[in-house]
Structure 1
Amino acid sequence: MPDRLDAFLSHRGFGSRSQVRELVRSGKVTVGDAICRDQARHLRGEEVRVDGVLIETGLTAATLLVHKPLGLACSHDPGEAPLLEDIIPEDYAHLPMEPAGRLDRDTSGLLIVTSSGDLIHSLTNPRRHIAKRYRIAYSGRLSAHAAERCAKGMQLEDDPKPTLPARLILETPRLDGLSTATLILHEGRYHQVRRMIAALGGEVTALHRDRIGGLDLPRDLPPGQVRELSEVEQASLFVEQGA
């Protein structure tokens, strides 16, 4: 998607957004052959110059679809290595890439990693009610009426507010003694799936996210692989789907 001029310059070391706005208003920035004083202008491949010096355009924005494998932390702290950023191609190293909602080290599945703060906000803001679907394996026996409790919202320990209504679909127990379930959330609290299952009497042993909004994790994208998200796929993130 086209990058805004202020974001483009900020990502290339010309200061904060407010500093970049002052720079653009000063008339020192040209886009194409003309001075540009509109910091919100969307770039579409034009040459950008500051004080007559050409700024290398390169890749100005990106949104990636990631199949996160187990074992990676969604962190920038080297002390928590291995990290999610280890599997992001070097082509995107100059961009401020962040996951739109984190998965813990012991959770696999669909992640959207983007340089767009607006997209991150849209996907993680509970008011947008973007559904996220999780496949769960768990031990133990869930309490009676577990699905109804999820549907009404649950009060979790140390949380001031109950969870938003969620959909829990229980499945037939497996031969290995574990049970499986699908949980669809519309928010993303700290370790929420694990805490909800624990509050219901179980313990999560495996957790995998395979859908955000109307976008399913592609079957042809193996764990640890990354590719760019298409515009059609990005739009599907905001389409509600059933179970």
Structure 2
Amino acid sequence: MAKIPTSRVDKLPSSMGYGSRKEIARMAKRGGITLDAADPLNVSKRIPITPDLPARVEIDGEALDPLAGMVILLNKPLGMSCSHKEDGALVYDVLPERWKRRDPAVSTIGRLDKQTSGLLLLTDDGGLLHRVISPKRHIKKIYRAKLARPLDGTEGGLFASGQLMLEGEDKPLAPAELEVVSETEALLTVTEGRYHQVRRMFAATGNQVEKLHRERVGGLALPDGMVPGQWKLLSEEQIALIFR
């Protein structure tokens, strides 16, 4: 049987962004940290890190945040950057403020540029992040593109050929699937994540993407009714859909 890891009371909330270890110690001293609704915890006490811990520990009367390994699905709004460092609105701004201080850090799984909206995943699980973005996994990503000019009918064959070379690159793109929705709208399924890939693919045909929205990653779709800026934590079953 695998050994259950443990953590000092002051270290765990600190790693989750609640404050420094000294601040956590002060919080515990005034009775702000409890386990199973029992007496306040001593910061030197070691507690088992079990999956049910967030439901058993309270910080100032509220349930503990999710443990490390969480995956977040966000309906990314237009105008937000996926970077940690750029000026202006960041996707991390819609999450609880303390999550910016978590260790391991929360990062996006791949990126959507500022002018692309839709399904964006974030996690503090580095192993999962690399599995999702690995080209070897061939995880499909579906984008809805609205175009400046009508499609001419040759795009589907070109994208599916596996021979399209983007400007400035020396390796052709993997085959991609095009589904025509209207003369100026299409769904494009890709398995890579090159820089501005969808926009550059249509640019290679002489067209321009005016609006771009990601609808699906693997078998995981953006839920109906989820408005831009809204997010949710994914269950293990939902995370598994990414790889289907």
TM-score per shorter chain, which class?
A: 0.7 to 0.9
Aligned residue number for residue 172 of structure 2:
162
Aligned residue number for residue 52 of structure 1:
none
1-side partners of 2:5 and 2:243: how far apart?
22
Per-residue deviation, residues 121-156 of structure 1 (Å, max 9, x unmatched): 111111100000000000124455211111112100
2-side partners of 1:209 and 1:59: how far apart?
26
For residue 66 of structure 1, what is the amino acid of its counterpart?
A: L
Tell whether the 8 Å contact from 1:31 to 1:46 is kept in structure 2 after alignment: no
Tell whether the 8 Å contact from 1:110 to 1:210 is kept in structure 2 after alignment: yes
Give the 3-state SS of the residue equivalent to 2:228 in structure 1: coil
2:72 aligned residue (61, 64, 69): 64
1:212 aligned residue (208, 217, 221): 217
- 1:134 and 2:148 aligned: no
Aligned residue number for residue 37 of structure 2:
none
1:44 aligned residue (44, 50, 58): 50
Q: Could you tell me how far 1:45 is from its partner in structure 2?
A: 5.6
Q: Could you tell me how far 1:204 is from its partner in structure 2?
A: 0.2
1-side partners of 2:225 and 2:208: how far apart?
30
2-side partners of 1:101 and 1:4: how far apart?
30
For residue 50 of structure 2, what is the amino acid of its counterpart?
A: R
For residue 83 of structure 2, what is the amino acid of its counterpart?
A: S
Per-residue deviation, residues 158-193 of structure 1 (Å, max 9, x unmatched): 1121111100112223xxxxx000100001000000
Give the 3-state SS of the residue equivalent to 2:139 in structure 1: coil
Tell whether the 8 Å contact from 1:142 to 1:201 is kept in structure 2 after alignment: no
Aligned residue number for residue 122 of structure 2:
113
The size of the alignment, in residue pairs, is 196
2-side partners of 1:150 and 1:188: how far apart?
15
Aligned residue number for residue 181 of structure 1:
186
2-side partners of 1:196 and 1:143: how far apart?
14
* TM-score normalized with structure 1 length: 0.73
CA separation of 1:152 and 1:235: change in aligned 2, threshold 3 A: same
Per-residue deviation, residues 39-87 of structure 1 (Å, max 9, x unmatched): xxxx41699xxxxxxxxx86431211100010101111242x1111111
CA separation of 1:139 and 1:235: change in aligned 2, threshold 3 A: same
Aligned residue number for residue 73 of structure 1:
81
Aligned residue number for residue 226 of structure 2:
221
* TM-score normalized with structure 2 length: 0.72
Per-residue deviation, residues 83-139 of structure 1 (Å, max 9, x unmatched): 111111235233201110100000000011100111111111111000000000001
2-side partners of 1:46 and 1:226: how far apart?
22
Tell whether the 8 Å contact from 1:143 to 1:201 is kept in structure 2 after alignment: no
Aligned residue number for residue 21 of structure 2:
none
1-side partners of 2:204 and 2:5: how far apart?
45
1-side partners of 2:47 and 2:209: how far apart?
55
For residue 164 of structure 1, what is the amino acid of its counterpart?
A: A
Contiguous gaps of at least 5 residues in structure 2: 17-44, 54-63
- 1:85 and 2:92 aligned: yes
Give the 3-state SS of the residue equivalent to 2:182 in structure 1: coil
Q: Which runs of 4+ in 1 moved over 6 A?
A: 3-6
